[in-house]
Every structure is written in C-alpha cells, then in structure tokens.
Amino acid sequence: MSDTLKIVISIIAYIVLAPVVGCIMSGVDRKITARMQGRQGPPILQPLYDVLKLLKKETVVVNHVQVFYLITFLVFVIFTGCLFFGGFDLLMVFFALTTANLFLILAATSSHSPYANMGANREMMQMLAYE
C-alpha cells in the first residue's frame, strides 16, 4: 500500500473508532474508580447510554453564536485527531488543539452564565499553564 492510502485509512479509522473507544475507555475508568472505592460501579457501556439519552433530550440554545462556537470546537477536535493520526507535524496538532480549546472558551463566555464563566476561566488558566 502507498503511504497516502495508509494515512487515509488511519484517518477514517480514527473518525469511526474514536467515539466507541472513548466511551469504552471512560466506562472502564469509571468501573476501576468504583472498585477502588469499594463499589460495584456502572456498566462499562454507561457512557454510551448517557450520550444516547442526551441526544434524545430537547435542545436548549442560549444564543446562536454559542452553537457556532461549539460546532467549530467539534470540527477542530476532529481535525486535530486527523492531523495526529495522519502523521502530521506535532506542533501543528498542538496548535489546532489550542484553537479548538479557544472556541470552547468562547462558547462558555457567550452564555453570560456565572458558572460558565468560572469554567471558562479555569479552562483558560489550565490552557495557559500547559502552553
């Protein structure tokens, strides 16, 4: 196989498998945490059940700018994963991830909620710390 075909296959595999693997890893983490605390814990697929339940709920939009920022955040996160699994420059991957994080912060501050602003401030401080 050519290198280009390998890159395309790895990017498609990332886009398809990342949500599933992420849910399973989160479920295993929750299960291990519960066992360490002496509890049984939720099923391993509980994060998937939570996402499916969330998608069935009614969508409440504070303002349409927030929706734009969140969609842009999602696009940049997917783009970042494609860059990483495509074997591109690691500095470009970090730059794209930081840009995605900025859109998440903008989405939080556009809601005018004091709790969202506190979360945005914490996220910004964390981002500044690792930058």
Residue 59's Cα: distance from chain center in Å? 19
pTM of the model: 0.78
Residue 39 has pLDDT above 90, yes or no: yes
Residue 31 has pLDDT above 80, yes or no: yes
Please tell me the distance from the alpha carbon of residue 67 to that of residue 55, in angstroms, as a whole number.
15
Residue 131 has pLDDT above 80, yes or no: no
List the single range of 20-24, 58-62, 81-85, 102-106 with lowest mean pLDDT. 58-62
Please tell me the distance from the alpha carbon of residue 88 to that of residue 20, in angstroms, as a whole number.
24
Please tell me the distance from the alpha carbon of residue 6 to that of residue 33, in angstroms, as a whole number.
37
pLDDT of residue 36: 95
pLDDT of residue 62: 75
Please tell me the distance from the alpha carbon of residue 127 to that of residue 119, in angstroms, as a whole number.
12
Cα Dmax for the chain: 53
**How far apart, in Å, do the first and last CA atoms of the chain sit?**
38
List the single range of 1-5, 22-26, 41-45 with lowest mean pLDDT. 1-5
